[in-house]
């Protein structure tokens, strides 16, 4: 018995040692992985930050520290030219007319309402820039929040907590509310992790009378559920505190070629996302057991059926199915089911949704965008009424672009003309990651093949934007 136990322990130790060896054999860490930017906002600093104006003032000192502690140091070292931390090259966000890594405000003279934009994990306010411009054009007071830990250096994600981010969201929501006044609507737009933070804020506002409740939520590629493997992340992060094992603090260590999104991904980032989803589950269950969920803001969720980052089905099982309010909508973008592409599918993501699509009644409106037929690239929408489950099929006037087999988690908020991620840039100067879809020998480029394959923009963006506008205007979907 004891010998068997020793054997098991020896095998376990060997596996752990091998894992540590593999993780430590990855690329070297650089200053942007290791420098701690202590001017970042945290919940410990809440006493000194009483308003969003204070938050912006602190953000100003943070970016000054980023300049002195990283940029001024890195600029003297021989790193590759395509690096966001080398001043003056294509990936340097400071070389563009506006640095979209920072919080921004778009303020019309007489706002018709307010929109708070919450970006995703490892992202920056750039990811919701197109929506910001549109709703400012429509007359809304728009605030794009830079989440704590984001927009500076990947090292910012090593220590940030979901509570730090939630506290910043409350400051930003209060700011927008004060600027528009109590009579005008407040909307929260969340992308990925930002969508989870929007849900968390709405749940807190139901219990805290000091928080202004949102009139509606718009959730894009919402991170409501993540893999249970993330629960182990905290142990890997703790091992990283041991001298010589610093690389264990990172799931990915990559070249930082993207000016507005980290390529390197800290283990702590996955852990905070996992913990946030658990908190949301707990708060919804507590709400159901007390006053119910009928007062939750009406919610529009838009997502790609193909999503390698989050559980797309969780937005149904962990959120929409648990809400007793009215007016909620779910919009699903299917994969391209062209005959030439289907044989190459490894797994069909539709399997998780078959039961949903076969329901006789729904607690929310459902729109499913898919191919008109197996041999056609034309896209139609199937619409289920939230009242009686009746289904209608309508033309959209859209079609899949050639050689595109699906959208992706990161594609939805970016229009085709997006300068950085689009297929046709609105500005010919600068970096165009979205147009890097070329072929050649492997091992040559500084970007992985999987990243090059991933869809970076939404060919159906205009349709999505119009759906958001119609939803906010209260136009019935059935």
Q: Does position 117 have pLDDT exceeding 60, yes or no? A: yes
Kindly state the DSSP code that residue 148 receives in the 8-state scheme.
T
Q: Does position 135 have pLDDT exceeding 70, yes or no? A: yes
Q: What would the pLDDT profile of 296-326 be if each residue is shown by its tens digit?
A: 999 999 999 999 888 888 999 999 999 999 9
Q: What sign results for the dihedral spanned by CA atoms 249, 254, 256, 259?
A: negative
Kindly state the DSSP code that residue 204 receives in the 8-state scheme.
H
Which range of 20-29, 88-97, 186-195 scores highest in mean pLDDT? It is 186-195
pLDDT in the model for residue 323: 95
Q: How many CB atoms lie within 10 A of CB 365?
A: 20
Tokens of residue 181, six digits: 């006044």
CA–CA dist 76, 18 (Å, integer) = 36
Q: Which residue has the tokens 């927008």?
A: 176
pLDDT in the model for residue 475: 45
Instruction: Give the residue from 447, 459, 444 showing the smallest Cα distance to 369.
Output: 459
pLDDT in the model for residue 341: 78
Phi then psi for 143, rounded to 5 degrees? -125, 120
Tokens of residue 226, six digits: 């993540």
CA–CA dist 99, 329 (Å, integer) = 34
Q: Does position 74 have pLDDT exceeding 90, yes or no? A: no
Q: Does position 389 have pLDDT exceeding 70, yes or no? A: no
- Cα angle 178-180-182, degrees, rounded to a multiple of 5: 75
Q: Regarding predicted confidence, which is higher, 225 or 217?
A: 217
Q: Does position 274 have pLDDT exceeding 60, yes or no? A: yes
pLDDT in the model for residue 80: 56
Superfamily of domain 30-473: Alpha/Beta hydrolase fold, catalytic domain (3.40.50.1820)
Instruction: Find the radius of gyration of the CA atoms of the chain.
Output: 23
The residue-averaged pLDDT of 162-181 equals: 97
Instruction: Give the rounded percent of residues in the chain with a pLDDT score beyond 90.
Output: 63
SS3 379: strand
Q: How many CB atoms lie within 10 A of CB 348?
A: 14
Integer angstrom CA distances of residue 398 from 366, 374, 380, 423: 19, 15, 8, 16
Instruction: Give the residue from 137, 154, 143, 127 showing the smallest Cα distance to 35.
Output: 154
Report whether 328 contacts 316 (CB < 8 A): no
Question: Which residues, in sequence order, are CB contacts of 53 under 8 Å at separation 6+?
Answer: 175
Q: What would the pLDDT profile of 441-469 be if each residue is shown by its tens digit?
A: 666 666 776 666 788 999 999 999 999 99
CA–CA dist 73, 61 (Å, integer) = 17
Instruction: Give the residue from 362, 401, 402 showing the smallest Cα distance to 382.
Output: 362
pLDDT in the model for residue 284: 97
The residue-averaged pLDDT of 358-384 equals: 89
Kindly state the DSSP code that residue 69 receives in the 8-state scheme.
I
How confident is residue 82, by pLDDT bands cut at 50, 70 and 90? confident
Distance of CA 77 to the CA centre of its chain: 32
Q: Domains of the chain: which residue ranges?
A: 30-473
CA–CA dist 39, 439 (Å, integer) = 43
SS3 143: strand
Q: Does position 64 have pLDDT exceeding 70, yes or no? A: yes
Q: Does position 1 have pLDDT exceeding 70, yes or no? A: no
Q: What would the pLDDT profile of 237-264 be if each residue is shown by its tens digit?
A: 565 556 556 788 888 888 899 999 999 9
Q: For the chain, give the number of residues.
A: 478
Tokens of residue 126, six digits: 């750039």
The residue-averaged pLDDT of 122-146 equals: 98
SS3 content of the chain, % helix, strand, coil (to 5): 40, 15, 45
How confident is residue 434, by pLDDT bands cut at 50, 70 and 90? confident
Tokens of residue 270, six digits: 């996955």
Q: Does position 95 have pLDDT exceeding 60, yes or no? A: yes
- How would you class 79 by CB atoms within 10 Å of its CB: exposed for 0-12, middle for 13-18, buried for 19 or more? middle
The residue-averaged pLDDT of 338-366 equals: 81
pLDDT in the model for residue 14: 55
Report whether 215 contacts 142 (CB < 8 A): no
CB burial string 211-233: b at 16+ within 10 A, e below = bbbbebbbbbbbbbbbeeebeeb
Tokens of residue 221, six digits: 């590629």
Question: Which residues, in sequence order, are CB contacts of 308 under 8 Å at separation 6+?
Answer: 408, 409
pLDDT in the model for residue 28: 81
CA–CA dist 342, 371 (Å, integer) = 12
Q: Do the strands 114-118 and 141-145 form a parallel or antiparallel pair, or are they unpaired?
A: parallel
- How would you class 141 by CB atoms within 10 Å of its CB: exposed for 0-12, middle for 13-18, buried for 19 or more? buried
Q: Does position 219 have pLDDT exceeding 90, yes or no? A: yes
CA–CA dist 391, 395 (Å, integer) = 14
Phi then psi for 206, rounded to 5 degrees? -70, -20
For the chain, the straight-line distance linking the first and the last C-alpha, in angstroms and rounded, comes to 66
CA–CA dist 261, 318 (Å, integer) = 28
Integer angstrom CA distances of residue 379 from 62, 372, 400, 402: 46, 6, 7, 13
């Amino acid at each position: 018995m004891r010998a068997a136990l020793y054997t098991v322990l020896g095998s376990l130790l060997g596996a752990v040692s091998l894992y540590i060896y593999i993780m430590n054999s990855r690329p070297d860490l650089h200053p942007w992985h290791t420098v701690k930017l202590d001017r970042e906002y945290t919940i410990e600093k809440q006493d000194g930050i009483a308003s969003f104006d204070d938050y912006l003032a602190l953000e100003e000192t943070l970016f000054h520290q980023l300049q002195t502690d990283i940029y001024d140091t890195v600029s003297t070292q021989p790193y590759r030219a395509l690096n966001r931390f080398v001043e003056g090259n294509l990936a340097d966000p400071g070389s563009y007319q506006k640095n979209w890594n920072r919080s921004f405000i778009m303020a019309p003279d007489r706002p018709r309402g307010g929109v708070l934009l919450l970006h995703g994990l490892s992202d920056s306010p750039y990811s919701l820039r197109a929506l910001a411009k549109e709703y400012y054009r429509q007359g809304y007071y728009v605030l794009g929040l830079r989440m704590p830990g984001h927009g500076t250096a990947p090292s910012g994600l090593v220590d940030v907590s979901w509570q730090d981010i939630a506290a910043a969201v409350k400051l930003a929501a209060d700011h927008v509310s004060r600027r528009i006044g109590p009579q005008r609507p407040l909307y929260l737009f969340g992308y990925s992790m930002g969508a989870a933070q929007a849900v968390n804020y709405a749940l807190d506002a139901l219990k805290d009378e000091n928080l202004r409740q949102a009139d509606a939520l718009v959730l894009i590629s919402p991170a409501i559920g993540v893999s249970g493997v993330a629960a182990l992340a905290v142990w890997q992060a703790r091992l990283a505190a041991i001298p010589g094992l610093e690389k264990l603090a990172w799931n990915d260590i990559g070249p930082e070629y993207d000016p507005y999104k980290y390529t390197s991904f800290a283990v702590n980032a996955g852990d905070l996302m996992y913990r946030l989803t658990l908190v949301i589950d707990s708060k919804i269950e507590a709400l159901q057991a007390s006053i119910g969920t009928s007062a939750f803001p009406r919610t529009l969720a838009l997502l790609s059926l193909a999503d390698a980052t989050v559980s797309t089905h969780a937005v149904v099982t962990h959120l929409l199915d648990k809400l007793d309010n009215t007016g909620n909508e779910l919009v699903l973008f299917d994969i391209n089911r062209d005959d030439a592409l289907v044989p190459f599918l490894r797994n069909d993501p539709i399997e998780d949704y078959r039961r949903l699509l076969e329901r006789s009644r729904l607690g929310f409106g459902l729109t499913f965008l898919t191919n008109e037929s197996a041999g056609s690239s034309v896209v139609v929408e199937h619409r289920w009424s939230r009242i009686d489950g009746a289904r209608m099929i309508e033309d959209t006037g859209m079609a899949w672009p050639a050689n595109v087999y699906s959208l992706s988690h990161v594609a939805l908020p970016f229009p085709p003309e997006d300068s950085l991620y689009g297929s046709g840039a609105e500005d010919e100067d600068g970096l165009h990651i979205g147009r890097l879809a070329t072929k050649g020998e492997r091992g040559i480029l500084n970007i992985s093949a999987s990243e090059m394959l991933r869809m970076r923009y939404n060919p159906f963006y205009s349709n999505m934007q119009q759906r958001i506008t119609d939803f906010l205007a209260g136009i019935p979907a059935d």
